Amino acid sequence: MPLDRRHFLNGAALLTGGLLSSGRVLGQAAWTVLGHPLSSLPWLQDVRRIIIDTDPGTDDLLAIMMMLSSTQITTEAITVAPGNIGYEQEVRNALYLSQTLTNGKIPVHRGVDHPLLNRPYPAAGFIHGRYGLGDMVVPEVALRPAPEHASVAISRIVSAHPGEVVLLALGGLSNIALALLLDPSIARKARGVVIVGGRYEGIGTAVSFNAMVDPEAADIVLRSGLQIAMTGGLGPTEMLTQADFDHIRTFGTQKSEIFLKSNAERLKFETEQRHKPGATYADPFAAAMVLDPSVASEFEAVNVKVELNGAETRGEYVFGGTHIYTGDALPPNVAICSRGSAEKFRTQVFKALRS
C-alpha cells in the first residue's frame, strides 16, 4: 500500500478532529486510582515473532543485538521511527546493524521521519553522541532500505501472522500509530506492544522521552485496544555499571567491541553528569522482557493517558484515572513493569554480547 500526502492529511484531520479531543477528556478525570498488581502477562510468554520499531541510538543498539541473537524469536523487520537523533542517521545506523549482525537478512523499513503533527521534540544527542552510536563513525553499507513504508510493513506482517507478532517499540510511536490509522484491525491482530517508558510511581505524571517525541502518536497507541506493556523505570535493575563494562570487555566478540565503542560516552555521561552508579538501559530491558518474560517479576495494571496540551507537561504519561463525575475507575489499558530482576537482565545482555 503506497503512502502519499493524502494519508498524512487524512491522519491529521482525524487527529485534529477527534483524537486531540482527548485533551478535553483529561479535563474530565481525576487521577486518584493506583494500579493493581499482576505477576505476569500471558501474551508475553513464548513470543516467536517481533518487529523492532527503533530510533537507533546507543541503547537501541544493545536491544537490537539482543533480539537478533535469539534463536527462538524471528525478527521480521526493523522499522525506523523518529526519536533520538536526526532521521537519516537513524536509518544509516539501522542499515549498518542489519548488515553487520545479519548479513542484511533483516529488512529495514523507513517510516515517518517526523512526529505526526510535525511538531518539534527534544534532541538526545547529548547521550547518544554525534552519530547516534556514541562517537563511533557509522560506515555506509551495501544494504538499502526496503521499498515498503514502515507503517505498511507493520500492518502487512501483523496481518499475515495474527496473534503472533509483538511490536517492540524502542522510539517514538509514530510508525505504529500511523499503522493503526491505516488499519485499525491490527490492534486485535498483533500479539501486543512493548513500549519503552512509563516510569510509574503511583498516581500522577511521569516524563517519557519516547512519548515526548510524538505525544499524538502515543495517544493513538494507548487508546487503540492493543495489549500494552511498558518497561516502567526500574533504576538499578536496568543499569550496567563500570564493572559490567569491564566484564563485557573480556568477551572479545564483534558485538562486545561494537557495544563498548558505541556506549563508552554514554556510561561516562551518566556517571559523571547524572551522578549515577552506571548507565541505564530501558530499551535493552524491553528486549529482555520479550526474550525472558521472568525478567519482569511484577506489573501494575493501570489506566494511562498522555498529556497533549500542557506547556511544560506535553508528552507526559498520566496514571490512575477516575471519572470526575462518577468516581468510577477508568479501565486499565497498560501493564507497567514495576519490579524486575537485575541478574536476569544482565544474563540476557551478556548472552547476546558473547555470541
Q: Does the pLDDT of residue 200 top 90, yes or no?
A: no
Q: Which of 120-124, 171-175, 271-275, 330-334 has the lowest mean pLDDT?
A: 120-124
41 versus 125: the higher-pLDDT residue is 41
User: How many CA atoms within 13 Å lie on the side-chain side of 337?
Assistant: 29
C-alpha cell at 61: 543498539
In sequence order, the β-bridge partners of residue 52 are 78, 168
The predicted pLDDT at position 237 comes to 95
Lowest mean pLDDT among 54-58, 251-255, 288-292, 329-333: 329-333
* Span 68-78, pLDDT tens digits: 999 999 999 99
Task: Identify the CA nearest to 304 among candidates 294, 318, 315.
Answer: 318
Say if residue 325's pLDDT is above 80: no
Average pLDDT over residues 306-315: 90
Residue 267 is predicted with a pLDDT of 96
Mean pLDDT, range 74-94, rounded to an integer? 97
**Residues in Cβ contact with 86 at an 8 Å cutoff, skipping those fewer than 6 apart:** none
pLDDT band for 11, please (50, 70, 90 cuts): very low
Sheet (strand 317-319) strand order: 204-206, 317-319, 304-306
Confidence at residue 207, expressed as pLDDT on a 0 to 100 scale:
78
Question: Which pLDDT score, from 0 to 100, does residue 198 have?
Answer: 85
Instruction: Sketch out the chain's domains with CATH numbers.
Output: 31-354 (3.90.245.10)
Q: Inform me whether the pLDDT recorded for 20 exceeds 50.
A: no
Range in 81-95, 196-210, 240-254, 339-353 the model is least confident about:
196-210
pLDDT at 9: 39
Q: CA distances (Å), 8 to each of 219, 268, 315, 322, in order?
A: 17, 40, 21, 33
Res 322: pLDDT? 73
HSE-up of residue 200 (Cα within 13 Å, Cβ side): 28
- What mean pLDDT comes out for the span 22-49? 72
How would residue 13 be classed by pLDDT, with cut points 50, 70 and 90?
very low
Residue that has been written with the C-alpha cell 547516534 in this structure: 132
Give, in order, the Cα–Cα distances in Å from 343 to each of 239, 295, 346. Answer: 10, 8, 5
pLDDT at position 26 = 41
DSSP state of 274: S
Tell me which amino acid residue 35 is: G
Q: Cα–Cα distance between 282 and 234 in angstroms, integer?
A: 8
